């Protein structure tokens, strides 16, 4: 399941997952001009286009890359915070109340 199902269906189509490097590389290749393709970083084994956030950031000026960069950034945030964020919201006030858990181990910086 994609965090942005409407994004992926409208831009990439239903058969391309924005989280899949090979699928995204195959989708990008015919949509980018030859000069940009020469400069685009490639994978070591199969010489496919790299589609990680750092590689996409090199070509952030291209309109076709901008939504992909947003997808990568937000999907990373969702993978980090989505599971714990709803648990930390107060049910009445809807404010965020993060839990500060202290380590059971005595460390110099906590118990100085």
pLDDT digits 0-9 by tens, 33-90: 999 999 999 999 999 999 999 999 999 999 999 999 988 888 887 777 766 667 777 7
Whether residue 110 is contained in a domain is answered as: no
Whether residue 106 is contained in a domain is answered as: no
Whether residue 49 is contained in a domain is answered as: yes
pLDDT for the residue 15: 86
Whether residue 111 is contained in a domain is answered as: no
Whether residue 28 is contained in a domain is answered as: yes
Closest to 27 (Cα-Cα) out of 67, 70, 58, 79:
67
- For all residues of the chain together, what is the average pLDDT? 79
Whether residue 45 is contained in a domain is answered as: yes
- Structural domain span for residue 32: 5-88
Closest to 28 (Cα-Cα) out of 14, 11, 9, 44:
11
Cα-based torsion angle of the residue sequence 15, 56, 50, 32 in order, rounded to the nearest 10 degrees: 70
DSSP reduced 3-state for 79: helix
Whether residue 39 is contained in a domain is answered as: yes
Whether residue 44 is contained in a domain is answered as: yes
Q: How many distinct structural domains can be found in the chain?
A: 1
pLDDT for the residue 90: 74
pTM above 0.75, yes or no: no
């Amino acid at each position: 399941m994609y965090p942005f199902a409407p994004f992926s269906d409208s831009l990439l189509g239903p058969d391309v997952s924005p989280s899949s490097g090979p699928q995204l590389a195959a989708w990008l290749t015919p949509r980018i001009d030859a000069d940009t393709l020469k400069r685009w970083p490639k994978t070591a084994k199969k010489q496919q286009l790299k589609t990680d956030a750092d590689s996409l950031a090199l070509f952030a000026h291209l309109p076709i890359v901008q939504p992909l960069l947003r997808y990568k950034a937000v999907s990373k945030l969702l993978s980090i915070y989505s599971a714990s964020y709803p648990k930390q919201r107060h049910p009445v006030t809807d404010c965020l109340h993060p839990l500060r858990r202290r380590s059971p181990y005595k460390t110099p910086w906590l118990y100085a």
